[in-house]
């Protein structure tokens, strides 16, 4: 019996994992195709730009040029280039940076990823928890003044772009009130270590960018949960419980729990879109994560680095999605038993 119940769960996870692999493979393919498909061949112009600077340091430039030619496999048939590219990527070789030559792309991206994840994941989770709770209360007291105020503020606050909210926070709390530092991940000149002072310093730099992500995504969750709760209140079990005289708090508990399930899937999808916002937030705050690295890569037109950041971020988002799918399957028996799939 037990095995029988477990099977659909494994099948479900297997399918999610297959989807993850396919999408990741497609992301790699996009990275391969784009520079070759867009007219004006950016690789050629990059080589041109590099050889223009050749007078300054011919030795160095020649080696960059050679690596570039090799890495992009220019000159070989496209299909060979493609398989070489995929083969390398699967071995974890995403090429060599141009602006930080001869550093490997992977060695540049890996150290900044923890900063981005540390900024993104707690902020999204806090926004998710607070937003859902607020939305549930508003929905449960639908039509009340509190509900109307909450709904309308959420609507407007939800429309504030992360980065602009970040600018406002810097202006108010750094420039005017001088409460929090407005840039960087820690005070410039200090060397990262595990002392209490450094940790406090990191936290004080963390608050503003994190707040900008929390505030701007909170409203969306609140509106979503409110709607789900309002729909849920129509269910038979709610009116039945009411007739039975079940305590209002207990009913609210049921409704809250049932309304939250769709929001778990939403959490997975939001990781991807929030990441875009977090990248720009990092740029506004000069926060030492992937967004800041991306910004530097963009301003130097370091194509291998830009591509590498893209591939690695996509991979981490898919892994996060997979993880949320897993959690979802654990808490929703319909998925676990293979009935909740559409």
Closest residue by Cα to residue 104 from 89, 117, 123, 115: 89
Q: What is the dihedral of CA 212, 216, 221, 226, to 10 degrees?
A: 130
Q: For residue 17, state whether it binds another protein (rule: CB under 8 A).
A: no
Q: For residue 40, state whether it binds another protein (rule: CB under 8 A).
A: yes
Asked if 103 and 197 count as a contact pair (C-beta separation under 8 A), the reply is no
Q: For residue 255, state whether it binds another protein (rule: CB under 8 A).
A: no
Tokens standing for residue 34:
């784009």
92: alpha, beta or left, given left = phi > 0 and alpha = psi -120 to 50?
A: left
Considering only the stretches 9-17, 21-29, 73-81, 132-140, report the one whose residues sit in contact with another protein under the rule CB under 8 A. Answer: 21-29
Taken in order 122, 124, 125, 131, the sign of the CA dihedral is positive
Q: For residue 158, state whether it binds another protein (rule: CB under 8 A).
A: yes
Nearest distance from residue 76's CB to another protein, in Å?
21
Asked if 309 and 297 count as a contact pair (C-beta separation under 8 A), the reply is yes
Q: How many residues bind another protein (CB under 8 A)?
A: 58
Q: Which of residues 277-296 bind another protein (CB under 8 A)?
A: 277, 279-280, 283-284, 294-295
CB atoms within 10 A of CB 217: 23
Q: For residue 45, state whether it binds another protein (rule: CB under 8 A).
A: yes
Q: Which is nearer to another protein, 60 or 264 (CB)?
A: 264
Q: For residue 75, state whether it binds another protein (rule: CB under 8 A).
A: no
Identify the residue among 6, 10, 18, 34 touching another protein (CB under 8 A). Answer: 34
Asked if 216 and 284 count as a contact pair (C-beta separation under 8 A), the reply is no
183: alpha, beta or left, given left = phi > 0 and alpha = psi -120 to 50?
A: beta
Closest residue by Cα to residue 297 from 312, 286, 308, 285: 308
For residue 112, give the DSSP letter.
Answer: H
CA distance 214 to 171: 18
Tokens standing for residue 163:
């980065």
Q: For residue 12, state whether it binds another protein (rule: CB under 8 A).
A: no
Q: For residue 42, state whether it binds another protein (rule: CB under 8 A).
A: yes
Q: Which is nearer to another protein, 136 or 279 (CB)?
A: 279
Considering only the stretches 5-13, 107-115, 121-129, 303-311, report the one whose residues sit in contact with another protein under the rule CB under 8 A. Answer: 303-311
Q: For residue 149, state whether it binds another protein (rule: CB under 8 A).
A: no
The contact set with another protein (CB under 8 A) reads 19, 22-23, 26-27, 30-31, 34-35, 38, 40, 42, 45, 142-143, 152, 155-156, 158-161, 163-164, 167-168, 170-171, 174-176, 182-183, 231, 269, 272-273, 275-277, 279-280, 283-284, 294-295, 298-299, 301, 303, 306-307, 310, 313-314, 317-318, 321
């Amino acid at each position: 019996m037990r095995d029988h119940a477990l099977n659909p769960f494994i099948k479900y996870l297997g399918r999610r994992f297959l989807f993850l692999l396919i999408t990741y493979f497609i992301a790699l393919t996009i990275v391969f195709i784009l520079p070759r498909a867009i007219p004006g061949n950016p690789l050629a112009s990059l080589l041109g730009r590099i050889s223009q600077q050749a007078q300054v340091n011919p030795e160095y430039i020649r080696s960059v040029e050679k690596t570039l030619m090799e890495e992009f496999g220019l000159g070989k048939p496209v299909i060979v280039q493609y398989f070489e590219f995929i083969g390398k990527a699967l071995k974890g070789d995403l090429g060599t940076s141009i602006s930080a030559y001869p550093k490997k792309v992977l060695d540049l991206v890996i150290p900044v990823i923890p900063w981005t994840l540390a900024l993104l994941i707690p902020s999204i989770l806090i926004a998710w928890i607070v937003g859902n709770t607020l939305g549930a209360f508003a929905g449960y007291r639908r039509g009340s003044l509190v509900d109307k105020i909450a709904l309308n503020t959420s609507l407007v606050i939800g429309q504030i772009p992360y980065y602009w909210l970040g600018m406002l926070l810097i202006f108010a709390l750094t420039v005017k009130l001088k409460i929090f530092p407005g840039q960087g991940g820690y005070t410039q000149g200090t060397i990262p270590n595990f002392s209490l002072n450094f940790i406090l310093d990191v936290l004080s730099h963390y608050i503003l960018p994190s707040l900008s992500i929390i505030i701007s995504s909170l409203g969306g969750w609140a509106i979503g949960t409110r709607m789900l709760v309002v729909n849920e209140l129509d269910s038979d079990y709610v009116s039945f419980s009411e007739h039975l005289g079940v305590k209002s708090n207990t009913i609210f508990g049921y409704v809250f729990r049932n309304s939250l399930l769709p929001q778990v899937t939403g959490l997975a999808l939001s990781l991807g879109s929030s990441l875009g916002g977090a990248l720009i937030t990092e740029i506004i705050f000069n926060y030492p994560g992937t967004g800041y690295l991306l910004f530097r890569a963009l301003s130097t037109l370091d194509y291998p680095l830009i591509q590498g950041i893209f591939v690695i971020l996509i991979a981490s988002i898919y892994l996060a999605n997979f993880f949320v799918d897993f959690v979802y399957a654990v808490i929703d028996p319909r998925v676990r038993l293979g009935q909740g799939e559409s």
